Amino acid sequence: MEKKILELREQRKKLWEETKAFLDSHRDKDGNISAEDTATYEKMEADVVALGKEIDRLERQAAIEREMSADVNKPILDKPGEDTKKDPKNARATAEYKRAFWDVMRNRPTSPDLINALQVGTDTEGGFLVPDEFEKTLIEALEEQNIMRSIARLIKTSSGERKIPVATSKGTASWIEEEGEIKESDDAFSQVTIGAYKLGTMIKVSEELLNDSVFDLETYIAKEFARRIGAAEETAFINGDGSGKPTGVITSAEVGVTAASATAIKADEIIDLVYSLKSPYRRNAVFLTSDEMIKQIRKLKDGNGQYLWQPSLTAGTPDMLMNRPLYTSPAMPECAAGAKPILFGDFSYYWIADRQGRTFKRLGELFALNGQVGFLATERTDGKLVLAEAVKTLQMKTE
């Protein structure tokens, strides 16, 4: 059965490549294809879809046969095991779920009880939500790779879009003469909507390494996926345009100061940047810039000849700039004409919304001919600066 499924997968892949090649080779100079060629292409495409359906049927049949041939000393359950039934909300925190999850990732035989325990973490695309303990490990690794997750506000969303009311103007009080009329003055509100964008990556591991009991699959996957996902998140949270990805803080933040030069900054410009931010936001404000800009910042002095930059004396704490924490990120722009290489503000107004949890999927057959197993990790997240005035940018002069 498995051999037949693999053959059909190879046949479908070959047919799909032929279908794409046919389409590309039959376009005219304007990129159009004739009605006759369109019919041929649609027939080839239908064959690809039909093969996919046949593969799905055979895989379901194989799953049923494996279940029917399982040990019958214990009943085959249709619901999660006892641990997950007691507390469904914390089912992914159980040892039962964790063991079943990693057994599936390594393709090791597991009991029907454990297979059923995975039902609480199965997503609509055939993957499995990672165990809670591993989720925490992955989050910690992400924060090491991603400075925005450590200074922004993190929220969890379940489904749909989350609408956040934001006050765009404040009501005011006025002096009133005796028996005078009180004037109306209301706050005005707008809404910021946070949804979820899908981010994914895949790694391949040799079957020999995967089956080696010494190989720490959990640690390897946590570090590698965190590195890739963290880098992609960081870039989007800082520079994202909101099209298929989060909206970056630079995209939404207001310009506080424009430098007099396109390639260099002055101490007075840093001071002006600080005071371009309203005082309520300055209480929790921090700087965010790149390592390249740090080279310039470290040379800046105030009017008394004191350096604006002060190094941290305690491990795990950031350096200081004008007595405010200074963070760096490789995703921050370099110093160039029109760029915004320095941010200053209260980043708790940048909201990162994580949907559900991170999902892993084992791709056991896709790379079988190469003796490899693929692992696909996906997450759904979004990020937006909900109040633009909470963060200010220093923008370089445009030449």
What pLDDT digit, counting tens, does each position of 259-276 carry? 999 999 999 999 999 999
397: helix, coil or strand? coil
pLDDT, residue 180, reads 65
Question: Using alpha carbons only, how large is the chain's radius of gyration in Å?
Answer: 28
Section 361-376 average pLDDT:
80
Say what the pLDDT of residue 2 is: 73
pLDDT score recorded for residue 83: 44
Q: What is the pLDDT of residues 164-210, one digit of tens each?
A: 666 555 556 656 666 666 666 555 555 667 778 888 888 888 877 77
pLDDT, position 234? 93
pLDDT reported for residue 128: 58
Average pLDDT over residues 312-318: 74
Contact indicator for 55, 9 with CB cutoff of 8 Å: yes
- In percent, how much of the chain has pLDDT > 70? 68
Least confident of 13-27, 276-290, 320-334, 377-391: 13-27
User: Span 205-219, mean pLDDT?
Assistant: 73
286-289 and 162-169 as β-strands: parallel, antiparallel, unpaired? unpaired
What are the structural domain ranges in the chain?
A: 1-69, 75-121, 128-170+186-399
pLDDT at 396 exceeding the cut of 90: yes
For the chain, the residue count is 399
What's the pLDDT tens digit per position in 43-89? 887 887 787 778 777 777 776 666 556 554 444 444 444 444 444 44
pLDDT of residue 225: 83
Q: How far is CA 180 from CA 168, 173, 299, 314, 333, in A?
A: 28, 14, 59, 60, 55
Task: Reply yes or no on whether the pLDDT at 382 is more than 50.
Answer: yes
Measured between alpha carbons, how far is 8 from 57 in angstroms, rounded to an integer? Answer: 12
| Residue owning tokens 């599936």 | 104
Higher pLDDT, 293 or 50: 293
- Element (DSSP H or E) covering residue 101: helix 95-106
**For the whole model, what pTM was predicted?**
0.63
Average pLDDT, the chain: 78
Place of tokens 């390594």: 106
CATH of the domain spanning 128-170+186-399: 3.30.2400.10
Mean predicted confidence (pLDDT) in 380-387: 90
What are the structure tokens assigned to 378, written together?
Answer: 């996906």
Whole-angstrom Cα distance, residue 270 to residue 324?
Answer: 12
Angle formed at CA 104 by CA 103 and CA 108, multiple of 5 degrees: 55
Predicted local confidence at residue 166, as pLDDT = 61
The token pair that represents 319 in the structure block: 């350096």
Question: Who has greater pLDDT, 52 or 309?
Answer: 309
Q: Which of 205, 198, 207, 194 is nearest to 160 (CA)?
A: 194
Q: How far apart are CA 100 and CA 95, in angstroms?
A: 9
78-87, 115-124, 327-336, 354-363: the lowest-pLDDT one: 78-87
